[in-house]
Amino acid sequence: MSALPKALLIFAFVIPLAIVMGFLLADPTDSTSMIGVGVLLTLLLSPFLIRHHHTALIISATAFINAFFIPGRPEMWMLLSGLSLIVSIASWPLDRESRRYCGFRSLDLSVIFMVLIVLFTMRATGGAGLNILGAQVFGGRRYVTMLAAAVGYFALVLHPLSLSRAKVLGSTFWAMSGTAILGNLAFALGPNFYFFFYLFPVEFVLSQANAEDITLAGGVVRLSGLAPLGFGIIYWLLSRFGLRGVLDITKSWRMILAVAGIVFIMLAGFRSNVILLVLLLVTLFFFEELHRTVKAGILALVLLLMAVFVVGFSERLPLTIQRSLSFLPLKVSSLAKADAEGSLQWRLDMWKVVVSDIPRYFWIGKGFSINPSDLYFTKEALRRGFYSPSEAARLAGDYHNGPLSVIIPFGIFGVIGFCWFLVSVFWVLRNNYKYGHPELENLNRFFLAFFVARVIFFVVFFGAATSDFWLFAALAGLNLSMNRGMASRPEFNPIESLPSTSTTINPSTVQLPMPSVARIKLQNAPQ
């Protein structure tokens, strides 16, 4: 008899909920319906989010998943950053473990300084420009991305991880970039699976679709989603086992999986991805001091075999791989080489124009606001052949250059804040690698090596302040959470090293630490 009221309560809740969901899904493209579905999903998932909000944020940090039920379809990590910060603050008086703050003061202040710079630039250049809220300009999404990155950083450092969870989530964080391929799979499976584009971004698919149109005239198809998939595999392997572990011949599956990841990266058709991969491997190679071990010979042999294969069959490889390797002195297809050189030329043309704008935006940056009329007329002029291909990218703020993506939108104070932020991140990662828990050595080493390689790549080859600010903030926030703060050099206390007071001490047997200079003088003193 007691089960009957419980069943009635369940039906009383489920049936109205099903009716409301059916009504909302009758027109799934309507924004009101999307918001309603999002609210219901949030309510249903609230017990899970309250308990696992921090884990969900870490998993979504590098994942390509959209919050499709929110206008503008922001990335899922933006939503989870706000939810995690709210839950962490609300539970602060209730959970003793959550009272431990893992942040580092210099890094915290640099993030706050960048937030102030973003807000000041937004105010000085005409507002946020959120077109979904009725604004007459575009570009507000980038402001939201940078502000959400700051929120995400503080949400990460407000919740320390246990050692076991740190080892699992530290490597899972890197693997989630492989979700980018799901959009390409949906596109390949046909219109019946296009509903997946509500959840997964279409940027990678759009480049694939445009390339297929060009292919009809002899172009190069670039499967952009394969690059994050390949990097996800490589990052997971290196963060979990280290480069030394990947080269372990007794665990051949690791090397096979790494080679598959490298092939995926090259199939995407971007030269910059190959450069980033080389930077990461070289950095990690020296951080692990493999040049002093036999592993260096194994790596040299693998690279030699790959080089022989690439040189011998370079012209027979897929066009996307040829395009990825076109910056090397290899024989590649003239089509792949021309496509790559054309892409480089319009970037160089754009940089020449943008560099001349630096004095104009030196003190107060340009911001991210874009006049839609200017963008429309620029595209029309480009279509008619009056403008170079770089003009539309310059107007949209896609400079394809890390330093320019900081100084043009935010001016010199943005450069100061961003450099302060990068130095603070490096200091955190360096200390946690040198003095962190021994069981986290592989993870901490990979975090530091990735950061060094990525900063070099950001400065020299390619970067975007908006996306890289979140990447570096998530990197530092997760590392601080894993290590429960920034580790410091352990201080040696000679008193603690003495034998217990319960035993008899022979003064002649007690050896205290002595500075090297004093030791040399004592040894050289006359007997």
Q: Are 138 and 129 in contact (CB under 8 A)?
A: yes
- At 197, the pLDDT band (50, 70, 90 cuts) reads confident
Q: Are 360 and 412 in contact (CB under 8 A)?
A: no
The CB density around residue 406, as the number of other CB atoms within 10 Å, is 27
Mean pLDDT for the stretch of residues 215-225: 59
Q: Are 428 and 136 in contact (CB under 8 A)?
A: no
Read off the pLDDT of residues 304-346 as tens digits, 9 standing for 90 and up: 877 777 777 777 777 777 787 777 777 777 777 777 777 777 7
Q: What are the residues whose beta carbons fall under 8 Å from the beta carbon of 208, sequence distance 6 or more?
A: 184, 187, 221, 222, 223, 224, 225
Question: What is the phi/psi pair of residue 497, to 5°?
Answer: -80, -10
- Against a cut of 0.85, is the pTM above it? no
Q: At what angle do helices 226-246 and 181-189 cross, to 10 degrees?
A: 140
What's the pLDDT score for residue 356?
83
Give the chain's count of helices (H) and strands (E). Answer: 20, 0
**Which of 145-149, 210-214, 215-219, 364-368 shows the lowest mean pLDDT across its residues?**
215-219
**Cα–Cα distance for residue pair 307/333, rounded to 1 Å:** 18
Q: What are the residues whose beta carbons fall under 8 Å from the beta carbon of 265, sequence distance 6 or more?
A: 226, 227, 230, 231, 234, 273, 274, 277, 324
Distance in angstroms between the alpha carbons of the first and the last residue of the chain: 99
Mean pLDDT for the stretch of residues 212-227: 61
Q: Are 33 and 169 in contact (CB under 8 A)?
A: no
What's the pLDDT score for residue 394?
67
Read off the pLDDT of residues 20-64 as tens digits, 9 standing for 90 and up: 666 555 555 555 666 666 666 777 677 777 788 889 999 999 998
Read off the pLDDT of residues 459-496 as tens digits, 9 standing for 90 and up: 988 888 888 999 999 999 999 999 988 888 776 555 44
**Residue 269's closest CA among 216, 312, 214?**
214
Read off the pLDDT of residues 92-115 as tens digits, 9 standing for 90 and up: 777 665 567 888 999 999 999 999
Read off the pLDDT of residues 335-346 as tens digits, 9 standing for 90 and up: 777 777 777 777
**Cα–Cα distance for residue pair 310/314, rounded to 1 Å:** 5
Token couple for 181 = 């391929």
Token couple for 324 = 């990825």
